[in-house]
């Protein structure tokens, strides 16, 4: 029987140490729900890092047993591996480069060596779990070398790869000392997926300029294999958000929040703490709105949820300080006894509280400087079934290719952003509903299950095609 093996750096379950026990909670992100139906199916498995350092053998065993019972296989990383592979090469080199922040990129040979070694560690774990006929689906920038490592060990395996972040222009990629190894690593797959055609184009251009492989209609002819490249914009579990937002618990939360903020016009911002998300720029634009349109002083209220992330990486620590300072200053400058301009939370929230915020917000500000897709924009839309609300969306998020009924803005243009907030707060309800309905139809249809099915079918087709060509 052919099985499916999912591989990503982070498992869909996060393990944390509590006072005298271990806590198993869902990881942030939409991937787990979308792939839930696949990896939990008979015999399938999801391989990845459980998110903590566990050097003690008994503890490892305890974690492994618990995860295995839910179709997961942990790959444990030690402190040096977390520093060199996760914080180092993945998040101080690849993440900034691929998001066009190459001024933040660190080029460190030791980090690279650890990245190679950890990709090999993942490879060993996959080979142990997978048979020759199994389909392997590798995810994201932490594992760019894995497809090729697997291909070497299992030349006939079916291997898919999906990149969840942008693929940058050749000019950015070429700055990396390890650029050819990274591209060759990805090319071990039979099918490589991106969120948008733009990322796919950048990838093909880099492959052509650095490796000399030409392509036609997304087909790359290597010396002895064909690799297909395509765009698969990822969706969310629409019903999960729509149902959670409509639930009694969420409505109760909403009533409580609204009672605490009488007459407020609510603008919402929700992100992982990351410099790619444009959080500081957004705060400055909100201040500009208050300056330019003083009628919003005393009324417009920004609820800003920032979810802690990668807090051992220097740039993230600096950004946290910058945001803390900005929020403090703007609130001090503008607040009155009865009105606080910014309500800032630095934590993650359970689904019902999150969807209560989506429900009550009149405007969602999703203004990343760069974002592979951005699922927050889609979650807001799903949570607004039969309601009104306006999405302000950055033209540099992958989601902007699909959500053309949002107010699309350039996230570095403070003026445009402040004007968009004013326009959103003044938009007639009928127009809000019409725009939302268009986007709801799209987000509901192209949900994460659709995305998974599309990718898996295409991967199966790619393999059949290769086999037919080989026998011709
Ligand atoms: C982005 C990446 C994912 C990553 C997630 C959370 O969405 O594409 O691969 O898992 O951020 O980041 P973390 O570093 O906490 O895994």
429 CB-near residues (< 8 Å, 6+ apart): 388
Q: Is pLDDT at 32 greater than 90 in this prediction? A: no
What pLDDT is stored for residue 461 in this prediction?
92
CA of 112 to the centre of ligand 1 (A): 19
pLDDT above 90 as % of the chain: 92
Ligand 1, pocket-test mutation among 33, 46, 88, 164, most atoms within 8 A of CB: 164
Locus of tokens 């950004």? 319
3-state secondary structure of 300: strand
Residue 142 CA: nearest ligand 1 atom is 9
CA of 421 to the centre of ligand 1 (A): 29
Residues with a known catalytic role: 164, 371
Instruction: Find out whether 76 and 50 touch, Cβ atoms under 8 Å.
Output: yes
Extract the runs of DSSP E, i.e. beta strands, from 157-209: 158-162, 191-194
Nearest residue (CA) to ligand 1, atom 15: 309
What pLDDT is stored for residue 173 in this prediction?
98
Q: Is pLDDT at 12 greater than 70 in this prediction? A: yes
Q: Is pLDDT at 37 greater than 90 in this prediction? A: no
What pLDDT is stored for residue 319 in this prediction?
98
240 CB-near residues (< 8 Å, 6+ apart): 33, 351
Q: Is pLDDT at 30 greater than 70 in this prediction? A: no
Range 390-394 average pLDDT: 98
What pLDDT is stored for residue 70 in this prediction?
94
Report pLDDT digits (tens) over 299-322: 999 999 999 999 999 999 999 999
- Where residue 29 falls among pLDDT bands split at 50, 70, 90? low
Range 106-115 average pLDDT: 98
Q: In angstroms, rounded to a whole number, what is the distance separating the alpha carbons of residues 296 and 169?
A: 40
pLDDT above 70 as % of the chain: 99
Residue 165 Cβ contacting ligand 1 at under 6 Å: yes
Residue 8 CA: nearest ligand 1 atom is 9
Structure tokens, 292: 């330019």
Residue 14 Cβ contacting ligand 1 at under 6 Å: no
- Where residue 31 falls among pLDDT bands split at 50, 70, 90? confident
Q: What angle do CA 336, 293, 307 make, to 5 degrees?
A: 65
The upper half-sphere exposure of residue 218, i.e. CA atoms within 13 Å in the direction of its Cβ, equals: 17
Residue 298 Cβ contacting ligand 1 at under 6 Å: no
Range 112-134 average pLDDT: 97
CA of 9 to the centre of ligand 1 (A): 8
Element housing 455 (H / E): helix 448-471
- Where residue 228 falls among pLDDT bands split at 50, 70, 90? very high
What pLDDT is stored for residue 58 in this prediction?
94
Residue 335 Cβ contacting ligand 1 at under 6 Å: no
- What average pLDDT does the structure give for the chain? 95
CA of 130 to the centre of ligand 1 (A): 25
Locus of tokens 């051992």? 312
Q: Is pLDDT at 467 greater than 80 in this prediction? A: no
Q: Is pLDDT at 186 greater than 80 in this prediction? A: yes
Q: Where are the alpha helices (DSSP H) in 275-396?
A: 279-292, 314-334, 351-360, 376-383
Instruction: Find out whether 163 and 140 touch, Cβ atoms under 8 Å.
Output: yes
């Amino acid at each position: 029987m052919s099985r499916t093996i999912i591989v990503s750096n982070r498992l869909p379950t996060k393990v944390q140490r509590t006072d005298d026990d271990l806590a198993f909670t869902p990881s942030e992100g939409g991937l787990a729900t979308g792939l839930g139906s696949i990896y939990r199916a008979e015999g399938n498995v999801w391989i990845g890092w459980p998110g903590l350092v566990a050097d003690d053998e008994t503890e490892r065993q305890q974690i492994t047993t618990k995860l295995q019972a839910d179709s997961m296989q942990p790959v444990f990383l030690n402190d040096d591996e977390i520093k060199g592979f996760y914080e180092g090469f993945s998040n101080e080199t690849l993440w900034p480069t691929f998001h066009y922040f190459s001024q933040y990129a660190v080029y460190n040979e030791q980090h690279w060596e650890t990245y190679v070694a950890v990709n090999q560690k993942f490879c060993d774990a996959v080979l142990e779990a997978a048979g020759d006929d199994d389909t392997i689906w590798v995810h994201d920038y932490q594992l760019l070398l894995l497809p090729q490592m697997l291909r070497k060990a299992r030349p006939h395996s079916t291997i898919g790869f999906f990149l969840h972040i942008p693929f940058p222009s050749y000019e950015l990629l070429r700055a990396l000392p390890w650029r050819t190894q990274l591209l060759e690593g990805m090319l071990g797959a039979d099918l490589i997926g991106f969120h948008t055609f733009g990322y796919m184009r950048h990838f093909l251009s880099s492959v052509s300029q650095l490796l000399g492989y030409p392509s036609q209609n997304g087909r790359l002819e290597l010396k002895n294999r064909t690799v297909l490249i395509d765009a698969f914009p990822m969706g969310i579990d629409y019903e999960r958000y729509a149902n959670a937002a409509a639930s009694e618990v969420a409505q109760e939360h909403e009533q409580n929040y609204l009672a605490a903020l009488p007459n407020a016009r609510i603008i919402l911002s929700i992100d992982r703490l990351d410099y790619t998300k444009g959080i500081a720029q957004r705060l400055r634009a909100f201040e500009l709105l208050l300056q330019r349109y003083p009628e919003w002083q005393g009324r417009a209220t920004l609820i800003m949820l920032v979810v802690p992330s990668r807090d051992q990486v220097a740039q993230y620590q600096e950004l946290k300080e910058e945001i803390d300072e900005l929020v403090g200053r703007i609130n001090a400058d503008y607040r009155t006894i009865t009105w606080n301009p910014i309500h800032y939370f630095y934590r993650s929230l359970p689904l019902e509280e999150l969807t209560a915020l989506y429900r009550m917000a009149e405007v969602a500000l999703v203004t990343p400087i760069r974002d592979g897709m951005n699922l927050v924009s889609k979650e807001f839309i799903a949570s607004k079934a039969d309601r009104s609300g306006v999405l302000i969306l950055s033209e540099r998020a992958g989601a902007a290719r699909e959500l053309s009924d949002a107010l699309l803005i350039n996230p570095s243009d403070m003026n445009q952003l402040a004007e968009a907030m004013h326009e959103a707060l003044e938009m007639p309800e009928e127009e809000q509903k019409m725009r939302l309905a268009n986007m709801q139809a799209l987000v509901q249809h192209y949900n994460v299950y659709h995305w998974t099915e599309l990718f898996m079918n295409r991967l199966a087709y790619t393999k059949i095609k290769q086999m037919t060509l080989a026998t011709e």
